[in-house]
Structure 1
Amino acid sequence: MMMQQQREAIVRYGCKMLTSQLTTGSGGNLSICDRAAGRVAISPSGIEYSDLQARDVVITDFDGQFVEGRCKPSSELGFHLALYRKRPDVQAVLHTHSVYATTMACLGWEIPAVHYLVGFSGHKVPLAPYATFGTAELARNVAEGIGACNAVLLANHGLVAVGADLGRAFNTAEEIELVARIYYQARSVGNPVILPEEEMNRVLERFATYGQPAREDDDV
């Protein structure tokens, strides 16, 4: 089976999206790219993560042409491919409908540096304009809206996180959901203090060396 390790990782992290309450049912989507082979593994359309099997994960090329699998790819294949074309540093994309991040997106708010953990995205989490799901317009909005950040809100839709592997994209989505909740709660009772740019620059410098070095068995 082509890209078996990547397919298994998509199944595993799809289930983690459910247990971490980042989505429900079959909501959202995940992908991993193999740039050397010119292939992308992406979750299928409309299959609940609790029922997903590795063989259900679809393989396409970078033009979106079907390569292998028994299902239709996610309806959001377009913005996954657009992100891979726009950002050579990105190897994995994860899209969620997490409640607090989606609430921010429905309010039309970016998430500022209300907490230093916004650094998982960058200086903030920007907001991409609304477009109908699965359209070329949405793909353009996502690729342009994310800029150099690792996460972007999709207006009236959800969150997209990217990373050098699926584990890091998932961690970004999870931490940004926490920051979104903090921001929502802080704004509910007052005016939150936003960290200045110079402090976020220090945070991002420290994030660059945070954690353990990558291992060969890390998630692809």
Structure 2
Amino acid sequence: MNKFDGLNQAMVEHYAPRPGRRPLLPPMSDKARIALMCRMLFKEGWNEHIAGHITFRQADGTILTNPWELAWDELTASDIMTLDSEGQIIDGEWNITPAIGLHVQLHALRPEIDVVIHNHAKWSGIWANLQRVPPVYDQTGAHCGAELPIYNEYTGTFENEKSSLSAAEALGDAKWALLANHGSLVVAKDLRQAHLRAITLEWRCKRAYEVELAGGAEPLSNEEIEKVSITDTHGFPFCWEAMARRELRLDPSILE
């Protein structure tokens, strides 16, 4: 049993009054989890062609990431690249994005952050282009708190070290951000937390856009949002597994 499976077991025992069926997911490698994460988020709107990158820092300091050439909905475990702590390829058959520097710098600046996700997601991308923070209108949009910074000094692309370092430093201790006229950024301690933050951000942005089109409404107060956002600490129980199983039913080859 690996560390992630142990977390699954602990969460089941804590939250479920009945044991239910075990395990929730088959044993899998970290590379398989990254491929699954890409597939899962693709369905959530993080799907701008071949744009976007996910990094996952392993216990030994090496970093797993998706290759540049492949779209998120076609990845399998064998496609995932391994990098050293400086972002240099040490294993894999593909190329990596020139913008990997942003991830490397975020991992270095934030030792508590093991997952960084960036893409030009559909609904959060609208608010990034508007350079506005979407209000929270429902419980699902409130899962990860109210604060959502906008980084509005984007100057082109993140392969420039000064630009990427500036963006990394501007994020501060935030859990996510909108990149003005660019896209979305999510950081987290693990894949479960990152998944919840990414899907919550898209839901929040989608609902806010729909409410505005309908004429507007009263958003939730910060106090109400904080009551709901207790799930952010560990990720919503069972959600990661449920979405992972959906992808595995569609294409079991993800694990290969």
TM-score range, shorter chain: 0.7 to 0.9
Give a deviation string over 1:103-140, Cα, whole Å, max 9, x none.
00011112344445454443222111223223324423
Map of 1:18 onto structure 2 = 42
Shift of 1:152: 0.9
2:55 matches 1:31 = yes
TM-aligned CA deviation for residue 61 of structure 1: 1.7
1:216 corresponds to which residue? Answer: none
Check if 1:8 corresponds to 2:9.
no
Maintained 8 Å contact 2:192/2:234: no
Structure with the higher helix share, 1 or 2: 2
How far the C-alpha of 1:174 sits from its partner, in A, is 1.2
Q: Distance in 1 between matches of 2:157 and 2:32?
A: 26
Counting matched residue pairs gives: 212
Instruction: Indicate the SS of the match to 1:17.
Output: helix
**Structure 2 unaligned runs (5+)?**
1-27, 239-243, 245-256
* Mapped partners of 1:202, 1:50: distance in 2: 34
Q: What are the within-5 Å matches in structure 2 for residues 69-84 of structure 1?
A: 69-84=92-107
CA distance in 1, matches of 2:107, 2:143: 19
Which residue in the other structure is 2:174 paired with?
149
Q: Could you report, residue by residue, the CA deviation over 1:60-110 in whole angstroms, capped at 9, with x for unpaired residues?
A: 122222222222222321111122122222111222322110000011112
Of 109, 125, 130, 1:107 maps to 130
Over the matched positions of the two proteins, sequence identity in percent amounts to 22
In 1: Cα distance, 2:234 partner to 2:67 partner: 35
| TM-score normalised according to structure 2 size | 0.70
Equivalent in the alignment of 1:65: 88
3-state SS of paired residue (1:172): helix
CA RMSD of aligned residues (A): 2.9
Secondary structure of residue in 2 paired with 1:159: strand
Where does residue 90 of structure 1 map in the other structure?
Answer: 113
Match among 202, 218, 233 for residue 177 of structure 1? 202
What per-residue deviation string (whole Å, max 9, x for no partner) do you get for residues 16-74 of structure 1? Answer: 2223332143221111101x412111111121234333333221122222222222222
Match of 1:43 among 66, 72, 77: 66
List runs of 5+ in structure 1 lacking aligned partners.
214-218
Please say if residues 42 and 74 of structure 1, whose CA atoms lie closer than 8 Å, have aligned partners that are also in contact: no
Report the Cα offset of residue 185 of structure 1. Answer: 2.3
Distance 1:190 1:19, change over 3 A: closer
* Alpha-carbon separation, structure 2, partners of 1:146 and 1:118: 21
Query: Cα 1:170–1:133, aligned 2, differ >3 Å: closer, same or farther?
Result: farther
Structure showing greater radius of gyration is 2
TM-score with structure 1 length normalisation?
Answer: 0.80
Distance 1:206 1:159, change over 3 A: closer
